[in-house]
Chains A and B, each alone.
Chain A
Amino acid sequence: MSLEVAIVVEDAVEYSFAMEYHGPPITRELPRAVPINVDRIPVASVVSPLPFPDSLSLPVVQPISAADIIGKKLIKDLKLSSSSAELLTVSPTSVIAFESQNNEVSEGSYSKELGLGTETSVSPSSVINASVESETENRSSNDICALSGELSSDFECCNRDDVLSGVNERGYSSISHDEFVGGVGSSGVLESSDSFEKSMEFSGSLRKSRLSGAYKETLDFNESNRTDWESNESVLSVDYLSSRVSSRKFGDGNQDSGGGDVRRAPVVTFCDIESDDENVDDDYSRSEPEVVRMKKEPAAKVRKGACYRCLKGNRFTEKEVCMVCDAKYCNNCVLRAMGSMPEGRKCVTCIGYPISELKRASLGKCSRMLKRLLNDLEVKQIMKAEKFCEVNQLPPEYISVNGRPLYHDELVMLQSCSNPPKKLKPGNYWYDKVSGLWGKVGQKPLQIITPHLNVGGPVKANASNGNTQVYINGREITKVELRMLKLAGVQCAGNPHFWVNEDGSYQEEGQKNTKGFIWGKAGTKLLCAVLSLPVPSKSSDLCGEQISSSISRSMPDYLEQRVIQKLLLIGYSGSGTSTIFKQARILYKDIPFSEDEREHITLVIQSHVYNYIGILLEGRERFEEESLHELRQHQSCDGPDGTTPAGDVDGNGEETPYSIGPRLKAFSDWLLKIMASGTLEAIFPAACREYAPLVEELCSSVAFKATYKRRHELESLPSISSYFLEQAVEILKPDYKPSDLDILYAEHVTSSNGLACVDFSFPEPVYDGDDSGDLHDSLLRYQLIRLQAKGFGENCKWLEMLEDVRVVIFCVSLSDYDQFALDGDGNRVNKMMLSKKFFENMVTHPTFDQMEFLLLLNKLDSFEEKIEQVPLTKCEWFDDFHPVISRNRSNSNNSNHPTLGQLGFHYVAVKFKRLFAALTGRKLYASAVKALDPTSVDTALKYAREVLSWDEERPNVSLSEYSIYSTEASSFSH
């Protein structure tokens, strides 16, 4: 190790010859190299481990949570004595820094300080936290006392050792100290004790240096938290590319990679200075959250104009400034100091902190330097992140309107209104809600913004500090305004009180008639410009209507992310999730389906209709055969005495109600053939035009109508088909445009596989009550995610992606109780049982642990019809359904007696609730829904919203209140 250092030093002292300068004359002064007096450079000598004085009680090294990090850094002088160099294990990476610094020295520039990163041997499990503090400005000697006090207190509270090594040079005092936070991990004991020993030595040297009194020192102690450290780390090494992670490297060892002691070798650079300071704030803010917004000063007092990281450069070198702590970095260092810039131009250690308000104006404005360093796309991404990331937004409490600090929602409203205040800066403002006048407290109006915003308190009379005794909307106006009013022709004699509306119309207080429009004349606007008074912007003319629409305006990205509430709609196939999903789109979207989608849906519906027709035609053939058979039997019965010619038995001349002409017969055969080959979808949409007249003919034929009458006998024909078949002729016309209802009824039109989602917010209620609560509510956006169970495997690995869902809406088709389907093993299973199994899977899935579930029992309408004919006990799960039905049910068709359908629904709901409670011990919300009925779906989704808000209020509300909403029914036995 020391060998390597030696090599490097050798390299560094190699002579270089100066070339004669041939370039153009230099305008600025060249920096002069100051000769170094070697004798005057202080040398840090290693002090023998002395017993500690009583005052410096060493703390016990406590184990620290795994999040804490290992590290130790040192800043050493060039003239680091060889003994201490041996003591330290200089890491290879730091040697690189060493070299560069060395060059600097040989150039004769100011610096002789070297960053030597060093590292004690620390096993990964032991935890040591380190940071380096360096001060390069003189501090008053008072600091010493104060800071030594601080030192000891920190010792106590931080459980760490502190090592200081002082370096003094030419009036600068620089202190570096290392802090060891020894976490006693399972395997870290040995190493940490090792470092302990070293720390003792160093503290010895510290004491010495302090005793000498020649050093002025300040100390800052802190605990770098994990992220800081990580980001430091990310800053550190650069050229991994040239190195290779290859087995050869690992194979033949690391003899050259430094002493066995070194585990990690960060280069110590001066960028750590900020991080230290920063972390102090961090520590404090943990105890007192109010201080979080405290302004951060870059504690690092770097020589004026120098880069905070490499300490090179002067006032004229171009530098990038951290938006938080004001640290400046030069060309070479900025990328290392700022890393990936997830929140814009901030040092890695400042990420997560609010920006300095002084720099708000430059938010999102890129410097030339960054543009040079990075390509356009990268710069664009950084600026976007800087402008829109949440932590960089204006803190609402900094803005006070009419004497009251704003809340977050108010600020959002203010900024997202149609005519927001320009360049909003922290400060006190007054806002006249009626006219929209906006200004700084104690000043004339600045701007006319959107009126009627519910922001801040009422405007005060002295808001603009006027002394004219003329009032506008209760605010005493300024002299300039009064002059404008007079020039605009407003009668201001007798100190009147005016009401001014947003359109500029004004009336005197207590009088009904409008006296005129302030900004009505063209001259007034010019006048206002001269007096630098605001005039209403054009858009504000229609701001009356815009208040409501401003809510639905697109919000910045960061807001959208936060307020979206995700509802997952899931159910076994055929449970009607797609209908509910479509219904939600129709209900809440202005344009439920785009043109492309409609086009696609048209094709889907048309091919469906052909499919239905095909099924009917198939049925027709069967019916025809049957009736022919019947006829023949009839004839054979009649045969002996009948006169029918035997030839007719072949069916040539026979007419049944199901017979069709040869042309239609050909079409029918062709259609059936295509259906059998399963290529209907591929052929039909294109062939639509060609066959439309044929279909029309077919539909009007007697045979088709007769078959249609008997459609209930055709099992494969879905019940929904009658809706489409009745308007088949219309649908199959080439210019058919599906209505919303058609789309709702159609099957398989939403992306049939996988996932679909729709963003919506519940529309404002029409009545306008106290809207403060609703306003908040309308900001909430919901996302309905529909997942199809089909195509998603049994173990549902993908479900973990949906863990941020707030409510799972599980859909069950009530009318499934007598339907059967084939399960994975090919057995015929009741569909309700399949639904139940799926429900169990979902509820017990680890991702949905503690998730709210809302059960929607769908198809209540068809269930009510069906239950009258088919007993609910047909499904084995419901075999104990014994409804108490009043004898006189038939004649008491009123609401006093629940219908069998309602009883059935409650029974099923309770069955599911018990199942849910048995599985999770929690409560299941349940609701009935008719997916084809918009209001029913609306109610169901609003119910989901209620579930969400109860969930939020749960800590405050007692559980008993919920029972009101429960659908627990006791009207039947089970």
Chain B
Amino acid sequence: MSVAELKERHMAAAETVNSLKERLKQRRLLLLDTDVAGYARSQGQTRVSFGPTDLVCCRTLQGHTGKVYSLDWTPERNRIVSASQDGRLIVWNALTSQKTHAIKLPCAWVMTCAFSPSGQSVACGGLDSMCSIFNLNSQTDKDGNLPVSRMLSGHKGYVSSCQYVPDEDTHLITASGDQTCVLWDITTGLRTSVFGGEFQSGHTADVLSVSINESNSRMFISGSCDSTVRLWDTRVASRAVRTFHGHEGDVNAVKFFPDGHRFGTGSDDGTCRLFDIRTGHQLQEYNQQHDDNEAPHVTSIAFSTSGRLLFAGYTNGDCYVWDTLLAEVVLDLGKLQNSHDSRISCLGLSADGSALCTGSWDSNLKIWAFGGHRRVN
């Protein structure tokens, strides 16, 4: 078989794939008779209304000197780790707003950070293509820096996102610019499995985010610059369980819905979407029309504990609170008093759902929570 012949066959195959994809899309559209918002309206749902004190900024965590890129809460105690362009990880006590650790990183270009489920260690990754683990209990060296307790090296591109497997301090999933996701064993520092990559059916561009299903920690999703989201089973590294199309830009953020059967996405096309992992359908699109066609990108998303609210940070400094049922913006944190001055780059809900933390390029983190009066019975 000559090269030309091979090329021809490849072209034909690619065409077939595209036409099949198109047919699939059509078929899906046919099957979808309604979306979440339409159905909810028909059921007479009313939108969530926000009182003035229901979500107020009650803490400002100051201390970073550069853009904040990532944050994560501990599952049980109220601590936050944040990563900033100033090359530091800071561990905050969210209640007192004090710093407990300021970790100077060997590589300042950090993009992501995560708290381990036990709260004993933090992980971070960035342009150095490594994922570094710091044990918060280890002794500081003579300069007062916390030593790296483990370097997870093996990625061939930047580490864009990392998350610990729930309830396991020894396993971590990273997403990388080398188009793969990797499940790591921290105790050995070796890769347990690699998802995607050259010879496997994985992402075809940089992977930007991962989210692990809280109720079934074997399943995780990854969002990528190829504008798709893929669902993976950690036991089957060879291929993605499902691929979700729909976005028209890089998928910057993915987050599982609290029940684990759905997930939300945020993308460069300015929309958030809700997908169902069982049917593969897109359930709802959350898109705020802008006057100019330059829609701000979605940088980060988070769901409330019940899933009724979707918090989404945008590049223009907005932070919308979406009603997931009716697909309406019920509040914009960016327009409230003392909101961030700059792009909101990351946000996260505390484990008990009582507070939202946002990190911004204005180098501050803010904690938003119910600020009103609680009637004590």
Is there contact, CB below 8 Å, between A381 and B101? yes
From B52, B158, B304, B308, A792 is in contact (CB under 8 Å) with: B158
Interface-located stretch among B53-61, B164-172, B232-240, B271-279: B53-61
Segment 286-320 of B: residues with Cβ below 8 Å from A: 304-309
Is there contact, CB below 8 Å, between B53 and A264? yes
A694 located at the interface, meaning its Cβ lies under 8 Å from any Cβ of chain B in the complex: no
Closest to B311 in A: A245
The interface residues of chain B lying within 8 Å CB-to-CB of A230 are 57, 60, 338
A677 located at the interface, meaning its Cβ lies under 8 Å from any Cβ of chain B in the complex: no
B12 located at the interface, meaning its Cβ lies under 8 Å from any Cβ of chain A in the complex: no
Is there contact, CB below 8 Å, between B156 and A95? no
Q: List 24 A-B contacts (CB under 8 A).
A: A91-B372, A229-B337, A234-B58, A237-B371, A240-B59, A241-B78, A242-B374, A244-B352, A245-B349, A246-B353, A249-B370, A254-B372, A256-B373, A262-B52, A263-B52, A335-B96, A340-B59, A378-B98, A754-B155, A790-B156, A792-B157, A792-B206, A793-B205, A797-B208
Give A934 to B62 CA distance when docked, in angstroms.
44
Given contacts A244-B354, A245-B304, A339-B60, A795 and B98 within 8 Å (CB-CB)? no
A125 located at the interface, meaning its Cβ lies under 8 Å from any Cβ of chain B in the complex: yes
B246 located at the interface, meaning its Cβ lies under 8 Å from any Cβ of chain A in the complex: no
Given contacts A378-B100, A381-B98, A95 and B355 within 8 Å (CB-CB)? no
Is there contact, CB below 8 Å, between B54 and A95? no
A614 located at the interface, meaning its Cβ lies under 8 Å from any Cβ of chain B in the complex: no
Give A397 to B57 CA distance when docked, in angstroms.
39
B116 located at the interface, meaning its Cβ lies under 8 Å from any Cβ of chain A in the complex: no
Is there contact, CB below 8 Å, between B177 and A382? no
Given contacts A230-B338, A374-B96, A248 and B306 within 8 Å (CB-CB)? yes
Closest to A123 in B: B335
Is there contact, CB below 8 Å, between B177 and A243? no
B128 located at the interface, meaning its Cβ lies under 8 Å from any Cβ of chain A in the complex: yes
Is there contact, CB below 8 Å, between A243 and B78? no
B228 located at the interface, meaning its Cβ lies under 8 Å from any Cβ of chain A in the complex: no
B190 located at the interface, meaning its Cβ lies under 8 Å from any Cβ of chain A in the complex: no
Give A159 to B92 CA distance when docked, in angstroms.
40
B244 located at the interface, meaning its Cβ lies under 8 Å from any Cβ of chain A in the complex: no
Is there contact, CB below 8 Å, between A233 and B57? yes
A247 located at the interface, meaning its Cβ lies under 8 Å from any Cβ of chain B in the complex: yes
Give A226 to B96 CA distance when docked, in angstroms.
22
From B144, B367, B373, A93 is in contact (CB under 8 Å) with: B373
From B48, B102, B128, A754 is in contact (CB under 8 Å) with: B128
Given contacts A230-B338, A250-B308, A802-B109, A753 and B58 within 8 Å (CB-CB)? no
Given contacts A341-B98, A382-B99, A264 and B372 within 8 Å (CB-CB)? no
Closest to A127 in B: B337
The interface residues of chain A lying within 8 Å CB-to-CB of B44 are none
Given contacts A71-B337, A249-B370, A753-B156, A792 and B98 within 8 Å (CB-CB)? no
A399 located at the interface, meaning its Cβ lies under 8 Å from any Cβ of chain B in the complex: no
Given contacts A254-B49, A339-B97, A755 and B59 within 8 Å (CB-CB)? no
Interface string of A262-285 (1 = CB under 8 A from B): 111100000000000000000000
From B57, B98, B308, A251 is in contact (CB under 8 Å) with: B308
Interface string of A62-80 (1 = CB under 8 A from B): 0000010111000000000
A375 → chain B closest CB, angstroms: 7
A39 located at the interface, meaning its Cβ lies under 8 Å from any Cβ of chain B in the complex: no
Binding site for A on B (CB under 8 A): 48-63, 65, 69, 78, 85-86, 92-93, 95-102, 107-109, 111, 126-130, 144, 155-158, 177-178, 205-206, 208, 225, 250, 304-309, 330, 335-338, 341, 349, 352-356, 367-375
Is there contact, CB below 8 Å, between A351 and B62? yes
Is there contact, CB below 8 Å, between B309 and A247? yes
Give A91 to B65 CA distance when docked, in angstroms.
35
The interface residues of chain B lying within 8 Å CB-to-CB of A335 are 96-98
Segment 789-838 of A: residues with Cβ below 8 Å from B: 790-795, 797-798, 801-802, 804
Give A798 to B110 CA distance when docked, in angstroms.
10
The interface residues of chain B lying within 8 Å CB-to-CB of A802 are 109
Give A805 to B148 CA distance when docked, in angstroms.
26
The interface residues of chain B lying within 8 Å CB-to-CB of A380 are 144
Is there contact, CB below 8 Å, between B250 and A243? no
A92 located at the interface, meaning its Cβ lies under 8 Å from any Cβ of chain B in the complex: yes
From A248, A258, A342, A385, B53 is in contact (CB under 8 Å) with: A258
Segment 680-702 of A: residues with Cβ below 8 Å from B: none
Segment 73-112 of A: residues with Cβ below 8 Å from B: 91-93, 95-96
Is there contact, CB below 8 Å, between A70 and B306? no
Is there contact, CB below 8 Å, between A241 and B95? yes
Give A948 to B347 CA distance when docked, in angstroms.
37
Closest to B57 in A: A233
Is there contact, CB below 8 Å, between A256 and B375? yes
> Which 3 A-B residue pairs are closest in the complex by CB-CB distance?
A92-B373, A254-B51, A247-B308
A514 located at the interface, meaning its Cβ lies under 8 Å from any Cβ of chain B in the complex: no
A56 located at the interface, meaning its Cβ lies under 8 Å from any Cβ of chain B in the complex: no
The interface residues of chain B lying within 8 Å CB-to-CB of A793 are 157, 177, 205-206, 225
Given contacts A248-B306, A258-B52, A339 and B62 within 8 Å (CB-CB)? yes
Give A264 to B368 CA distance when docked, in angstroms.
13
Is there contact, CB below 8 Å, between A340 and B98? yes
Give A263 to B127 CA distance when docked, in angstroms.
43
Is there contact, CB below 8 Å, between A250 and B54? yes
A384 located at the interface, meaning its Cβ lies under 8 Å from any Cβ of chain B in the complex: yes
Q: Which of B78, B225, B369, B372 has the most CB of A within 10 A?
A: B372
Closest to A92 in B: B373
Is there contact, CB below 8 Å, between B338 and A229? yes
Closest to A248 in B: B306
Is there contact, CB below 8 Å, between A792 and B177? yes
The interface residues of chain B lying within 8 Å CB-to-CB of A647 are none
Give A187 to B368 CA distance when docked, in angstroms.
24
Is there contact, CB below 8 Å, between A798 and B373? no
Give A802 to B66 CA distance when docked, in angstroms.
12
The interface residues of chain A lying within 8 Å CB-to-CB of B305 are 244, 246-247
